[in-house]
Chain A
Amino acid sequence: MHVVVVTKNTPDTEATITVDANGGVNWGDKMVVNPWDEYSITEAVLLKGAHNVKTTVVTVGTEQHAEALKHGLAIGIDQAIRIWDPALEGDDSLVYARAVTAAIKKLGDVSLIIFGKEFSDSASDAHIYQVARLLGWTMLGFVAKIDAVDFAGGTIRVQRLTEQGTQTVSSKLPAVISVVKDINEPKYPTFIGIRKAAKADIPVWSAADLGVDLGSGKVKVERYQELPKRVGQVELIEGATAQDKAGALVDKLIEEKVL
């Protein structure tokens, strides 16, 4: 029985991101583990603590994504695997999902795959649902709590967020889940964990190792562009009293037809 978490590195939230004249992008120097994956990786470690399961952290990406794997190892995941192949250049979710799916099949005994809600850089989560679909497993998206999981019996019950509220859903395993922030308090690496992770041997699997034809992606990234600039500076509303300020603001908003 095996729990797999899939992660990647993303640009540091605080980084200044710039676009050049050709529509290329510079993400800044510092990369961090995808913020949503702090929860998914932690959840895998918590499941390992509570059940007799093996845990693996997987990334699809170049050497620079090894850091995300080391973060996983440093907080207690058993092993890490990096998948890379030139066919994975670009940013097509289905090509990505084919690679993850092949890795899951190669690992063989996976009951549960955990994703953070989305990748914060591409702001996309399509790959998550596509992994579920390619494997023929069900998907429990936006999980805020795992109520119960029985790996031997092959069942799970979760609370998932919907647009209108919360659902309690039970499902058979294997399954793919994506998790949101409510699910746990992220664990952070310990000194010993970081040392262990630094020494870990991380295999790299290519498409040939996985025995899969990744195909070519249908989605192409054409270019990046800057956000339209916000016009003008903030207008500070002055007034002698709170009532004066409030009244002046409401007048402005109504005048501008914001309301």
Chain B
Amino acid sequence: MSGVWVWIEQADGQPLSASLEALGLARALAGNDPVTALVFGQSVDGVAQAAIQSGADAVIKADDPTLALVRFEPYIALLAKLVAEQQPAVVLAAATLDGRELMAGAAADVDAGVLTDVTELALDGDTLRALRPVTGGKVLRVETIQDSGPKFATLRARAFKALEPDASRTGTITEVAPVLAEDAVSTKVESVEQHAGGVSLTDASIVVSAGRGVGGADGFDPVRKLADVLHGALGASRAAVDAGWIPYEHQVGQTGKTVSPDLYIAIGISGAIQHQAGMRTAKVIVAINKDPDAPIFKLARYGIVGDLFEIVPALTEAFRKRLN
């Protein structure tokens, strides 16, 4: 069998935008072959429908309490079994934390290659060719898998375009059962704590980040207001995280998250190479810093030299007026 499969990740019953981007790419890679969405979880009919509207011809659905939360063993056991039986040409997922685990794990089970966190992907006969940033995005690397069997890849969020959802699209839905029963799974998720509000950094089209220049935890208040007005995600440099001004989950950079937004606003961030590793693929970078020699100005498209405690509130106000 041929065709392209996409594992659709979800949060609160909605597919992640990065998964819909993967469906968009799958549609382009598959040509005349079918695109199949894999929807695992509990009460996931809405996700299955959304996948069809965003480009899937078929859905393989597993609806079971053991799959309610993404867990390594039951998800991979099911994914690898389906791939081994049906032999899709390509299996894709967003390069989220879970997507990376599942694609690599299933690839090991079926003895296949996996290309991770790619920003370009092409399928030419049995050759899957990827472009991916390495060494903190300092250089790009071209990797290939040449194989007639299944080939796996994870896709960097915001590197590919989702299709416009089309409510008139139809597709088949096949139900499958989980492979592992609950007592065969080693892990139990005891509790889940959601981030308090805010937009996910990895998915965000706008990221507003602050660093040492804000001077303390309170210094994030005006930055947070700017992020809110822009419906953007709040980021931070390592210096601000290490100082305890903001939790680690906001850290952008080498030992934090990698983001690729349309707009990255760096406030009071000097732009150390470790920070650049997490944000240099942003489309437009704006730097606000009182030091005109800060390295961030070498990456930035626009810069404002000045006191961030004057500039940021003024910027928030200017955006509020213009965007409303």
Binding site for B on A (CB under 8 A): 10-11, 13-14, 17, 19, 23, 25, 27, 35-36, 92-94, 97, 120-130, 132-134, 137-142, 144, 157, 161-172, 175, 180-182, 217-227, 230, 232, 234-237, 241-243, 245-247, 249-254, 256, 258-259
The docked-state distance in angstroms from the alpha carbon of A91 to that of B83 is 24
3 tightest A-B contacts by CB?
A218-B113, A126-B104, A246-B314
A contact residues around B108 at 8 Å (CB): 94, 97, 129-130, 133-134
Interchain nearest-CB distance for B194 vs A (Å): 4
Residues of A within 8 A of B307 (CB): 242
A133, B254: Cα distance in complex, Å: 27
5 A-B pairs whose Cβ atoms sit less than 8 Å apart in the complex:
A36-B255, A130-B108, A138-B72, A219-B114, A224-B134
- Cβ A254 vs Cβ B322 within 8 A: yes
User: B116–A235 contact, CB under 8 A?
Assistant: no
| Contact residues in B for A242 (Cβ distance below 8 Å) | 306-307, 310-311, 313-314
Q: How far is the CA of A166 from the CA of B189 in the complex (A)?
A: 10
| Alpha-carbon distance between A19 and B134 when the two chains are bound, in angstroms | 12
B137 in contact with A129 (CB, 8 Å): no
Q: Given A35-B254, A126-B104, A133-B108, do A138 and B134 touch, yes or no (CB 8 Å)?
A: no
* Nearest opposing residue in chain B for A125, CB measure: B100
Q: Closest approach, in angstroms, between the C-beta of B197 and any C-beta of chain A?
A: 11
- Contact flags B216-258 to A (C-beta < 8 A → 1, else 0): 0000000000000010000000000000000011010011100
Q: Kindly list chain B residues whose C-beta atoms are within 8 Å of the C-beta of A258.
A: 262-263, 283-284
Tell me the minimal C-beta distance from A100 to chain B in angstroms: 12
* Whole-angstrom CA separation of A3 from B280 in the bound complex: 37
Answer yes or no: B132 CB below 8 A from chain A CBs: yes
Q: Are B251 and A181 in contact (CB under 8 A)?
A: yes
Question: In the complex, which residues of chain B have a beta carbon less than 8 angstroms from the beta carbon of A167?
Answer: 69, 189-193
Proximity bits, B292-320, A CB within 8 Å = 1, else 0: 10000111111111110011011101110
Give 12 new A-B contacts, CB below 8 A, not counting A125-B116, A243-B317.
A13-B254, A13-B277, A17-B135, A23-B142, A94-B114, A129-B72, A175-B186, A219-B145, A221-B142, A225-B139, A242-B311, A246-B304
Q: How many A-B residue pairs have CB under 8 A?
A: 257
Contact size class for B?
35 or more
Q: How far is the CB of B97 from chain A (nearest CB, A)?
A: 5
Q: How far is the CA of A121 from the CA of B256 in the complex (A)?
A: 15
**Complex CA–CA separation, A180 to B254 (angstroms):** 11
* Given A94-B107, A250-B315, CB of A17 within 8 Å of CB of B138: yes
Compute how far the CA of A252 lies from the CA of B304 in the bound complex, rounded to whole angstroms. Answer: 13
Report if A164-B143 is in contact (Cβ < 8 Å); known contacts: A126-B107, A129-B104, A234-B301. no
Closest to A138 in B: B186
Q: Are B187 and A170 in contact (CB under 8 A)?
A: yes
Is A161 a contact partner of B97 (Cβ separation < 8 A)? yes
**Min CB gap B14→A, angstroms:** 11
- With A234-B297, A236-B304 in contact, do A253 and B189 touch (Cβ < 8 Å)? no
Please report the C-alpha to C-alpha distance between residue A234 and residue B288 in the assembled complex, in whole angstroms: 12
Q: Knowing A138-B186, A171-B186, A218-B145, say if A225 contacts B140 (CB, 8 Å).
A: yes
Complex interface: chain A residues within 8 A of B306 (CB) = 242, 245
The reply to whether B97 and A162 form a contact with Cβ atoms under 8 Å apart is yes
Q: Which residue of A lies closest to B100 (CB)?
A: A125
State the CA gap A36–B186 with chains docked (Å).
26
Cα separation A217 to B251 with both chains bound (whole Å): 34
Most buried by A among B69, B73, B255, B273: B255
Pairwise interchain contact A220-B97, C-beta atoms closer than 8 A: no
Specify which chain B residues have a CB less than 8 angstroms from the CB of A226 in the assembled complex.
Answer: 139-140
Inter-chain contacts of B182 with A (CB < 8 A): none
Other-chain residue from A25, A163, A227, A250 in contact with B318 (beta carbon distance below 8 A): A250
B8 within 8 A of A: no
B42 within 8 A of A: no
Shortest CB–CB separation between residue A258 and chain B, in angstroms? 5
Interface centre among B72, B188, B298 (most CB of A within 10 A): B72
- Interfacial chain A residues near B193, Cβ < 8 Å: 165-168
Quick one: which of A123, A164, A220, A241 contacts B136, CB cutoff 8 A? A123
Checking B105, B139, B273 against A224 with a beta-carbon cut-off of 8 angstroms, the contacting residue is B139
In the bound complex, do residue B302 and residue A234 qualify as a contact, i.e. CB atoms below 8 Å apart? Answer: yes
A132 and B297 within 8 A (CB): no
A137 to B117, CA, bound (A): 24
Question: Which residues of B sit under 8 angstroms from A254, Cβ to Cβ?
Answer: 322
Contact yes or no, A25 B139, CB < 8 A: yes
- B214 at the A interface (CB under 8 A): no
User: How far, in angstroms, from A256 to B194 measured CA to CA in the complex?
Assistant: 35
Q: Are A123 and B107 in contact (CB under 8 A)?
A: no
Please state if A14 and B273 are interface contacts (CB–CB under 8 Å).
yes
Which residue from chain B places its CB closest to the CB of A217 in the assembled complex?
B113
